[in-house]
Structure 1
Amino acid sequence: MATRTERDIVLHYTNHWFTHSEWSVERFAHDLLAPALVEAKMLERELEQTDGDAWARERKAWAVRVGRIFNGTSPFPLEWKMVWLGVLPSEYVAQVRRDCLQLFGVLDINLPRSSPGKPSATPSNLARVFKEFSEFVAAATPAHDGRYCTNDDPGDVDVMLQEGFDVIGAVMTELLALAAGTGRSVPMLQMLIAGRCQEAEQGE
C-alpha cells in the first residue's frame, strides 16, 4: 500500500466536505480557493469580475485545474496548502492538522502565544477536552469486557487508540495554556524535557 501523504489527507477531507455539503470542485475552486490565492498574491492576475462568457470560461478553467489535482494528473502545489486549508470549514482543518502531525509522530498540541517570562491571558478550551474525552469513552469498545487481548477487534482498537491520543493532545494543550496564562509551570512537562536532555547527553 502506498505511503499516505499530506496531499492525500488534504484531498480526503476536502472530498468528504463536498460529499456532505452543497459544495463541489468547481464551486470550491472558483469561489473560495482562487480568490484566496489572489489575496495571498499567488496568482499573476485578478479573477474575472463579470458574470459573462469570460467569467464562465474562467470558472470552468479553475474547475479543470483543481479537478486534475484531485484525480492525480497534476501535483498539489505545496505553496497552496495553507491557503487551501484556510478556506475549509474549521472542523475539517482540525482533522487535517491531526492526521498530518501523525505522519511525523507528533501529538496535536497547540502552543499558547505568550511572551517569555511575561505571563499574559490565554484562552481556555475546556470544552475540547470534554469533547475528546467523551469520544474516547464512546470508542472504548475493547474495554467493555474489562480486559484487553488479541481477540479485540483491530479496527476498534485503532479507533480507541486514536481517540485516546486526541484526548492527550487536548489535555496537554489546555495545561500549556493554563501554565502560560497564569505563569505557573507544568511539572510533568519539565520532567519530560529533563528526561529528553539526559537522553541526548547520554547519546553524545
Structure 2
Amino acid sequence: MSTIDSCTRHGEEVLATQQLLIKERGYDFAPEFKQMTTHLYLVGVMWRHGEDLDLSIDARDHAFDALASLLVNRGMRKKEAEKRIAFLRGMSRLEDGGDTLAITAGYQASPGDPALLTVFDEYLDEVRVSGALWRLYDRGKKTMFIGGGAAAFVAIWFVTIFIPDSGAISILAVGVVAAGLVVIPTFLIGLLFYRKKIKKADPKTAP
C-alpha cells in the first residue's frame, strides 16, 4: 500500500466515526463551511498519520496530496481538486502563520474522540457560516437570476411586439434595464440584511 493510500484510508476511518456524531448533533452550517472544515480536519488527521510513515516529503504537504487523491477518487476532476487544495492550503494558516483550529483538531485527534465536533461547536453562534444565512443567499441568488431574466424577457417581448421599429441595441438596453430593476433591489435588500446579521456576530478565526 502506498503512503497516499495509507493516509487516505486512515483519514476516512477516523472521519467515519465523526460523521455519526455530527449527524446526531444536527448542525446547520453553510455547506461550503462544513465541507471546508471537514477537509482541513482530514488534513490534520493525515498529517499526523504521515509522520509515522517513511515519507520523502514534509508530512503536512503529503497530507494535502493525500486529500487531493481522495477528492479525485470521490469523483472530483483533477483540475478542480487542484484548485480545491490550493484554496485549502490558503485557509489552513492563521495570520500569524499558525495552523487553523480544524487542522490542529485533526492533528491531535484520537480514535473515538469528538475532535471535529469541538471545532463545529466553536461556530454555533457564528451567523456568517450559518445554514440560515446560506439559504437566504441561495434564494436571493435564484430570485436575481430568475426574476431578472424573466423581467428582461418580458421587456424585450413587449418592445418587440409593440415597438417593432426599435433597433437591436435599444431592445437589448430595455432588457438590461428591466433586469436591473429586479436584480439591484434584491441585491441591496440582501446586503442590508447580511450587514445587520453580521453586526450581531462576534469575530471568529478561520476554522
TM-score over 0.5 for the pair: no
* Bigger Rg, which one: 2
User: Which TM class, normalised by the smaller chain length?
Assistant: under 0.3
TM-score (norm 1): 0.22
TM-score by length of 2: 0.22
* Larger helix share, 1 or 2: 2
Higher RCO, 1 or 2 (CA under 8 Å, sep at least 6)? 2
